[in-house]
């Protein structure tokens, strides 16, 4: 463990859900490198402890382990309270936890559909609710950044629950942003395209599939978790102080309809 030398979020307290790997882990590293004290959420404490080992230290104290299932109301209340108590407050909430299950839609099981919605939608609602209650009580102008997906916009056949959940996330962000804008609380989303993380190992680790995925992206490469983390940082920082209710697509141009790069229809 090193000590943080940057200071964009010095003295600030940040809770990140789903921080045990992938984009959540990179986001935790980003905020800690910028001087914030972070609370790491995920279901498995041992994985969170391993992530904490690699974070730069901050003078305010240890980064917090806030284990719990983000889809469960009692867990979210407890892990948010623990984060606030141990960090001495909360300034930024990053709702990052999410997952997907593939299935032809005619075969999708209710359990799988509801399971994805429980984490990707209910989990976002529960974490936002706990943070908002605290900020309103304390008069804090907090910021929420939700990790959505390009599939907030682009349909994703065979992943009906995931598509539905990310569409819902877009409207959660817009609704909360409007409801709390006058109290100085900002709510935005980042929408990644194809990013190199453990959930994408199937194509990341196969050179042919990696090329195939890259060929569909206008910038001809997938994104890195650090590129998403930096955008989350921007949406939580004072540089974006007049931005609320927006989804910022970070996708190498994936949402630009790449097939139209060369004119084929007129
Ligand atoms: P990942 O699977 O590597 O990480 C997901 C994290 O969420 C893990 O830490 C996991 O433990 C946690 N998590 C899952 N269910 C949880 C629960 N019930 N309670 C608490 N934590 C839980 O995935 P990732 O690629 O880093 O994705 C992170 C976010 O980014 C997700 O919301 C995902 O939808 C979104 N996203 C990812 C990509 C991509 O290409 N990787 C693209 C678009 C959007």
The tens place of each residue's pLDDT in the chain, 266 residues long, gives 566 568 999 999 999 999 999 999 999 999 999 999 999 999 999 999 999 999 999 999 999 999 999 999 999 999 999 999 999 999 999 999 999 999 999 999 999 999 999 999 999 999 999 999 999 999 999 999 999 999 999 999 999 999 999 999 999 999 999 999 999 999 999 999 999 999 899 999 999 999 999 999 999 999 999 999 999 999 999 999 999 999 999 999 999 999 899 988 87
Token duo for residue 140: 């804090």
Please indicate whether residue 30 is annotated as part of the active site: no
Residue 144 burial by CB count (10 A; 0-12/13-18/19+): exposed, middle or buried? buried
Please tell me the total number of residues recorded for the chain in this structure: 266
At 129, phi and psi to the nearest 5? -60, -45
Q: Please give the pLDDT value at position 3.
A: 62
- Between the CA of 264 and the centroid of ligand 1 the distance, in Å, is 37
Please state the CATH superfamily assignment of the domain spanning residues 13-260 in this structure.
Answer: NAD(P)-binding Rossmann-like Domain (3.40.50.720)
Q: Which of 162, 210, 242, 249 does the annotation list as catalytic?
A: 162
Query: Can you tell me the distance from the alpha carbon of 250 to that of 219, in angstroms, rounded to the nearest whole number?
Result: 11
Q: Please give the pLDDT value at position 217.
A: 97
Residue 219 burial by CB count (10 A; 0-12/13-18/19+): exposed, middle or buried? middle
Query: Can you tell me the distance from the alpha carbon of 42 to that of 142, in angstroms, rounded to the nearest whole number?
Result: 22
Q: Please give the pLDDT value at position 4.
A: 57
Q: Please give the pLDDT value at position 2.
A: 64
Please say whether the beta carbons of 60 and 32 come within 8 A. no
Query: Can you tell me the distance from the alpha carbon of 20 to that of 50, in angstroms, rounded to the nearest whole number?
Result: 8
Angle at the Cα of 1 (from 59 to 25), degrees rounded to 5? 95
Please say whether the beta carbons of 91 and 142 come within 8 A. yes
Whole-structure pTM over 0.75, yes or no? yes
- What is the domain partition of the chain in residue ranges? 13-260
Positive or negative: CA dihedral 132, 75, 122, 155: positive
According to DSSP, the residues that pair with 145 across neighbouring strands are 94, 188
Give yes or no for residue 22 CB within 6 A of ligand 1.
yes
Q: Please give the pLDDT value at position 246.
A: 98
Give yes or no for residue 231 CB within 6 A of ligand 1.
no
């Amino acid at each position: 463990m090193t000590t943080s030398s940057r200071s964009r979020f010095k003295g600030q307290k940040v809770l990140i859900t789903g921080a045990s790997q992938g984009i959540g882990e990179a986001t935790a590293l980003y905020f800690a490198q910028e001087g914030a004290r972070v609370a790491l959420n995920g279901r498995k404490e041992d994985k969170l402890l391993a992530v904490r080992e690699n974070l730069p230290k901050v003078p305010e104290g240890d980064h917090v382990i806030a284990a719990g299932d983000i889809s469960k109301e009692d867990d979210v209340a407890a892990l948010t309270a623990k984060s606030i108590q141990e960090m001495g407050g909360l300034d930024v909430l990053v709702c990052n936890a999410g997952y997907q299950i593939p299935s032809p839609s005619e075969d999708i099981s209710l359990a799988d559909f509801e399971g994805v919605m429980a984490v990707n939608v209910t989990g976002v609602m529960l974490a936002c609710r706990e943070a908002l209650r605290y900020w309103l009580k304390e008069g804090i102008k907090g910021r929420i950044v939700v990790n959505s997906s390009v599939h907030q916009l682009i349909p994703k056949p065979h992943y009906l629950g995931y598509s539905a959940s990310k569409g819902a996330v877009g409207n959660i962000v817009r609704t909360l942003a409007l409801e709390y804008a006058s109290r100085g609380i900002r709510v935005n989303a980042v929408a990644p395209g194809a990013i190199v993380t453990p959930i994408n190992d199937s194509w990341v680790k196969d050179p042919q599939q990696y090329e195939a995925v890259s060929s569909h992206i206008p910038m001809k490469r997938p994104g890195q978790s650090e590129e998403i983390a930096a955008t989350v940082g921007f949406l939580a920082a004072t540089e974006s102080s007049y931005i609320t209710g927006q989804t910022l697509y970070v996708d190498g141009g994936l949402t630009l309809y790449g097939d139209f790069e060369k004119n084929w229809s007129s």
